[in-house]
Amino acid sequence: MNEVVVDTRKDTAVRGVVRHALGTLSETGYTDRFRVEGREKLLYSYVLTDKGIDAHGILMAVLAMPPLVVRKVDSDGGGSLRTDGLTGILQRN
């Protein structure tokens, strides 16, 4: 099981992780649409290509190869971690 800790308050850090995940997926030939689902009604679609990522909505989590558990840094102070229970789902279209 892969685990990524994402601080959603720092967009540049999140983009860096996205680029890393995108590179990994591109190298393995995955250029599919994938989405993130969670208990907080998070549902965002991404289209991966070898040239970049087209993201719709606010980036809340990063997918690598599933399964992926994402822990997000709380925005309510202190940089504490909580498990959001987000699971990566890679969809073949």
pLDDT digits 0-9 by tens, 1-29: 334 444 444 444 445 555 555 455 444 44
pLDDT digits 0-9 by tens, 46-80: 444 334 444 432 233 444 434 334 444 444 433 33
Nearest to 70 by CA among 81, 58, 61: 61
Q: How far apart are CA 56 and CA 1, in angstroms?
A: 26
Residue entry with tokens 């940089």? 79
Angle made by CA atoms 13, 37, 35, in degrees to the nearest 5:
70
Strands (E), the chain: 2-6, 33-37, 43-49, 52-55, 68-73, 81-90
